[in-house]
Structure 1
Amino acid sequence: MTEPLELRCGDRVVGRYVHRPELPGELSPRPYLHPVRTLGGVPVTELMPADHAHHLGVSVAVPDVEGHNFWGGRTFVRGQGPTARDNHGVQRHGGWLRRTDEGFTEKLSWTAGGRELLHERRTVDVRRIDDTAWALDLTSALTNTTGRPLSIGSPATNGRPGAGYGGFFWRAPKDARPPEVFSADADGEDAVHGRPADWLALAGDRWTLVFAGPDPWFVRTGEYPGVGSSLAARERLALPPAATVTRRITTGIADGRLGRDGAAALARAMGGGPGA
């Protein structure tokens, strides 16, 4: 494995980016951030946990790009359910466009079956908010390089209701009790899952994550703690030849358990939308 890139917030290492991982094919190898920590040193990511070995800290993962799995694990097949298939893609690091202690811009190639489907320009930046919180800003721009139409799907578009995941995904650590999850006007997994919100907070015993992004949120707290975006929440996302889909997700990482007022203040400080 190539030496990870350390990301710093002032004098503290708050994350490590593994851009050339050595992983088995069934995990859909891709770059990832792990460990990510609060300014106080509390870990807020988990890597290859026993319950879902294909969860890789913070990554960009899509379960269905024209039938190819860039998520890892089994593929949901309509009429069959989760099925083991030899359809896993790989995200390959193609070089740095910018690289500093506080962030980077990277080129990636999404390949499957020996050919490139997507080219990605990924930008990650670290920003200090105050003495107890910092922000991770991730922008992913995916361009169809095949010369023909592509579409992005999810288990939901393939027949599994409520499973519209695909895009940005953050696997949080599993503590003794599940984290709380809430938005500005809703509480609990059932209330926030599958819905857009200007910001969404996941609060553990010693940490809080506040997410801001444009898509409906995929949320798990009971089975495991994780939050992701949904590029194809209910319908496949069409991507014509040479077209680009861009998503920006900003995450506030704070020490301690924040309530709604504290999470809203953190969302405002990191620019989390008009309703923050």
Structure 2
Amino acid sequence: MTTNDSPVLRVAGRPVGRYVTRPELPARLSPRPYLHPVTTLAGTAVTELSPADHPHHLGVGVAVPDVEGHNFWGGRTFVRDQGPIERDNHGAQRHSSFQLRDPGGFVAELRWVAAGTELLRERRTVAAAELTGTAWALDLTFALTNVASGPLSLGSPATNGRPGAAYGGFFWRARTEREAPRVFTADDEGEERVHGSRSDWLALAGATWTLVFAGATDATRRDPWFVRTAAYPGVGSSLACAERLAIAPGDTVVRRVVTVVADGPLSRAEAAALVRKAVGR
């Protein structure tokens, strides 16, 4: 269930995404605002919400599996030398207010709360812009400020002992189809080869759609890509890959990811051209 306080993004007058601010979800899913459904300009859905394989995957949003031991990702927690375990340690992202809101985007304030304590305060900026008659760009920036009384650190299953599982940060759960989507970068292809890379952009292509993800700041481009296609279709960033990401009291971590949402398959040259148009480089 959603509230009426859920803006619809529009591009060229067409609805392309809904931002759900206050979803009614069980605690183990780490409730948080998300974008779903997100569609191409032709109306093809390119997100999924709570799929059976991972009920805690919620469209497009920001999620971190370990904030000082609290799970803001949902599902089980990976514990070193024990593996994934069900724990009562889930946090929640709570929408506070909109600082700006119009059909082309919004600026929202969020509170990241766990065990009755606010740990992080987030400013999330989302903008939608037309690129061509068949492609548009979703520009998402999140700024996480440590408002706790002491230092915080962000972790992932990888930093807790599970190799290759450095997910956490921006995450897009894509549309599941009969065939796994193709994934490629400017100079490589396939899940095994592009997962963990720091490519300027990364494309995920289904039967009738293509998503092209690009880090739009130097800090964002330093984060490796987290990619899954065989088990499920999803792409995200890795805030904590080889080591935990420390945030001192009052400090802020900022990341910006721009995603091209296109109808039809894109070639490498077409994907790169749309990224240049969307990001301005």
Map Cα deviations across residues 94-152 of structure 1 (whole Å, 9 max, x no partner). Answer: 10100001100000000000010000000000010010000000000000001211000
* Shift, 1:217, TM fit: 0.3
Q: Which amino acid aligns with 1:10?
A: A
Write the deviation string for residues 45-67 of structure 1: whole angstroms up to 9, x where unpaired: 00000000000000100000000
Counterpart selection for 1:76 from 68, 78, 94: 78
Distance 2:276 2:145 in 1: 31
Amino acid at match of 2:254: T
* Aligned residue in 1 for 2:158: 156
Residue 79 and residue 272 in structure 1: after superposition, are their counterparts in 2 closer, same or farther (change >3 A)?
farther
Matched, 1:231 2:239: yes
Q: Secondary structure of 2:8's partner?
A: strand
Structure 2 residue corresponding to 1:268, chosen from 261, 272, 276: 276
* 1:187 equivalent in structure 2: 189
Whole-Å Cα distance in 1 between the matches of residues 87 and 114 of structure 2?
13
Q: Which runs of 4+ in 1 moved over 6 A?
A: none
Question: Equivalent of 2:134, from 122, 128, 132?
Answer: 132
What is residue 7 of structure 1 aligned with on the other side? 9
Q: C-alpha distance in 1, partners of 2:271/2:241? A: 25
Corresponding residue for residue 218 of structure 2: none
- Residue type at the aligned position of 2:175: P
Q: In structure 1, what is the Cα distance between the partners aligned to 2:190 and 2:270?
A: 17
Q: TM-score, normalised on structure 2? A: 0.96
Write the distance in 2 (CA, Å) between the matches of 1:229 and 1:31: 18
Q: CA deviation at 1:32?
A: 0.3
AA aligned opposite 2:3: T
Q: Secondary structure at the match of 1:270?
A: helix
What is aligned with 1:244? 252
Provide the rounded CA distance (Å) in 2 between the counterparts of 1:195 and 1:73: 26
Segments of structure 2 that go 5 or more residues without pairing to the other structure are 216-220
- CA separation of 1:73 and 1:191: change in aligned 2, threshold 3 A: same
Residues 212 and 272, structure 1, Cα contact 8 Å, conserved in 2: no
Q: What SS does the corresponding residue of 1:122 show, helix, strand or coil?
A: strand
TM-score (norm 1): 0.98
**2:264 matches 1:256:** yes
Counterpart for residue 203 of structure 2: 201
Match of 1:147 among 146, 149, 167: 149
The code of the aligned residue for 1:11 comes to G
In 1: Cα distance, 2:138 partner to 2:50 partner: 21
**5+ residue gaps, structure 1:** none
Structure 1 range deviating more: 262-271 or 179-188? 262-271
Q: Which amino acid aligns with 2:93?
A: Q
Contact 1:164/1:233 (8 A) holds in 2:
yes
Q: Hey, what does 2:230 align to over in structure 1? A: 222
Deviation of 1:10 after TM superposition, in Å, equals 1.7
Which piece of structure 1 moves more, 255-264 or 171-180?
Answer: 255-264
Aligned length: 273
Q: CA deviation at 1:272?
A: 6.6
Measured in 2, the distance between the counterparts of 1:86 and 1:151 equals 19
